[in-house]
Amino acid sequence: MKIGFDHKKYLEEQSKYILERVNNYDKLYLEFGGKLLFDLHAKRVLPGFDENAKIKLLHKLKEKVEVVICVYAGDIERNKIRGDFGITYDMDVLRLIDDLRSYELDVNSVVITRYEGQPATKVFINKLERRGIKVYKHKSTKGYPTDVDTIVSDEGYGQNPYIETSKPIVVVTAPGPGSGKLATCLSQLYHEYRRGNVAGYSKFETFPVWNVPLKHPLNIAYEAATADLKDVNMIDSFHFDAYGKVAVNYNRDIESFPVLKRIIEKITGEEAVYKSPTDMGVNRVGYGIIDDEVVKDASQQEIIRRYFKTACDYKKGYADKDTFQRVKLIMEELNLKEQDRKVVMPAREHSAKLKENCAKNEICPAVALELEDGTILTGKSSNVMDATAAVVLNAIKHFANISDEIHLISPVILEPIINLKSKTLGSKNTALTCEEILIALSICAATNPMAQVAMAKLPMLKGCQAHSTTILNKNDEQTFRKIGIDITCDPEYPSENLYYN
């Protein structure tokens, strides 16, 4: 893989800049946008970026940092899903706490924002408290966003309980957008100043990259990723007016800046130190880019991936038509086509070839996988296994120089698993998923040296690209994510059955 980003340089620059910012205050509330861990979007658009760069940065500063996690009560009530993991936001909070602790970071508490006594949220609060996690409950801020006098008063932020913290940097993070991170930071600022403490607020948002051109594919990829939020990248007019320099930000930050500035001035009783939304940020990711062409190519590929994902979400009913049309327009703006993703046409061509021998209206799923050396392999669905399992087996055989004709998994192993699925567990779909096939392969590896050699090649699939002619089930999606394969799908279901998980 071509590298376009220097991770080490970025970490040094970023930690230095955060420490410079915190020196101005007794305490700095640092709002973390995006994903604190497993930032796969950043990893894809910035080849060389470590998906866990942010948490490694915080680990470096662990003596000065504690973490507050925000989650919006409404997201818990409607079981909002974090797409890349396929888990609900409440479960993601628990996962996040475990991950933070594994990096020796102090988790202060969980804040439930816009809490109105929702039933499912009450259960979640009980679950946290009975595991020894401190929970704070914040209601909707009275007067927000326009009535600054009410917001900055006992009726507004004053209604929220004060979160007791002890370290100079308080990182405020969340499972996803709209979780109330900003309101929590400003509420704390209000309480700190009432206690006579000098506190500050800054924002750590990786995208859009403020010192990269507005129409750079890297920034446009961010618009594609947040199409459902209707985020639009813009020139920060406040920054240009104050410094005469062009900086890129996005509509929500620019639109809310005048009110945010007034709130901070009302809290502190003096003129805000920030002249623009860009000033508030501490992100230095742009300084880690070492090959602009590599980043451009990677960002364009990410836009195509986002297009396919949005098309599938629209088919499933998770995305509205406006969101899909928006990503489609972004594709057209950069003159990108579906077939610019190298694995798309081989998958479709293989499926078309299979249809020649299928019944008239039968769907013939196929998957194409591109290896790092550019080799493209394909796999098809059968009665024994689905197309994802087939293509993974073909790939590890290729790496191990094992002939296609050789069966790595003994029928003695396969038959009992298929019988278990169909007869004991009553599954209508007897074809084994990718995960099930890999478990079967691992059993065979205990007695079959060739299977053992093939299993050892699985890590070589990390970073490979794949495309399926049909929508994958959740199990296969998660298995591919764990292996590290980036897969897209055509927005077509693999069968006419309505129930599909």
Please say which residue of 288, 311, 331 terminates a domain. 288
For residue 93, being part of any structural domain is answered with yes
Structure tokens at 151: 């917001």
Q: Are residues 140 and 75 in the same domain?
A: yes
What is the number of alpha carbons within 13 Å of residue 112 lying toward its C-beta? 25
Q: Residue 45: in which H helix or E strand, if any?
A: helix 40-45
268 and 368 in a single domain? The answer is: no
What percentage of the chain has pLDDT greater than the value 90?
77
SS3 490: coil
Are 36 and 166 in the same domain?
Answer: yes
Question: Is residue 294 in a domain?
Answer: no
- Of the candidate ranges 380-389, 417-426, 434-443, the one whose mean pLDDT is the lowest: 417-426
Q: Is omega for the bond preceding 258 within 30 degrees of 0, making it cis?
A: no
Average pLDDT score over residue span 221-237: 93
% of the chain exceeding 70 in pLDDT? 98
Which residue in the block uniquely carries the two structure tokens 């405020």? 172
CATH of the domain at 72: 3.10.630.10
> Does the residue 43 lie in any domain?
yes
Same domain, 67 and 214: yes
For residues 247 and 249, give the distance between their C-alpha atoms in angstroms, rounded to a whole number.
7
Beta strands, E only, 229-321: 233-235, 248-250
> Quick check: 302 and 45 in contact, CB under 8 A?
yes
For residue 369, list its beta bridge partners.
377, 466
pTM as predicted: 0.91
Count of CB atoms within 10 A of residue 368's CB? 27
Q: Is the pLDDT of residue 129 over 80?
A: yes
In this structure, are residues 181 and 163 in contact, taking their beta carbons and an 8 Å threshold? Answer: no
Collapsing DSSP states into helix, strand and coil, what is residue 239?
helix
- What's at 426, amino acid-wise? G
Residue 416 forms part of a structural domain: yes
In a domain, 297, yes or no: no
Same-domain pairing of 85 and 175: yes
For residue 467, being part of any structural domain is answered with yes
Do 230 and 370 share a domain, yes or no?
no
Q: Does pLDDT of 499 surpass 70?
A: no
pLDDT digits (tens, 9 = 90+) for 285-343: 999 999 999 999 999 999 999 999 999 999 999 899 999 999 999 999 999 999 999 99
Q: Are both 60 and 201 inside the same structural domain?
A: yes
Contacts by residues 263-272 (CB-CB < 8 Å, ≥ 24 positions apart):
263/148, 263/151, 263/152, 263/186, 264/186, 264/189, 264/201, 266/148, 266/149, 266/151, 266/152, 267/152, 267/186, 267/189, 267/190, 267/193, 268/189, 268/193, 269/193
In the predicted structure, residue 84 carries a pLDDT above the cut 80: no
**Sole residue written with tokens 């509509």:** 251
C-alpha distances in Å from residue 292, one per residue of 6, 47, 220, 224, 333: 12, 11, 14, 19, 20
More confident residue, 407 or 81: 407
The CATH number that applies at residue 393 is: 3.40.140.40
Residues 13 and 130 in one domain: yes
Residue at 2 is within a domain: no
Is residue 500 scored above 70 in pLDDT?
no
Q: What is the distance between the alpha carbons of residues 451 and 444, in angstroms, rounded to a whole number?
A: 6
Q: How many domains does the chain have?
A: 2
In angstroms, the Cα distances linking 14 to 11, 99, 279, 482 are 5, 21, 15, 28
**Side-chain-side CA neighbours of residue 442 (13 Å):** 7
User: Is 86 inside any structural domain?
Assistant: yes
**Considering 243, 266, 288, which residue would you say is the last residue of a domain?**
288
Single out the residue in 248, 267, 288 at which a domain terminates: 288
Structure tokens at 282: 């501490």
Based on the domain organization, do 381 and 457 belong to the same domain? yes
Q: Which domain holds residue 382?
A: 342-489
382 and 251 fall within a common domain: no
Residues 228 and 372 in one domain: no
- More confident of the two residues 406 and 308: 308
Identify whether residues 12 and 77 lie together within a single domain: yes
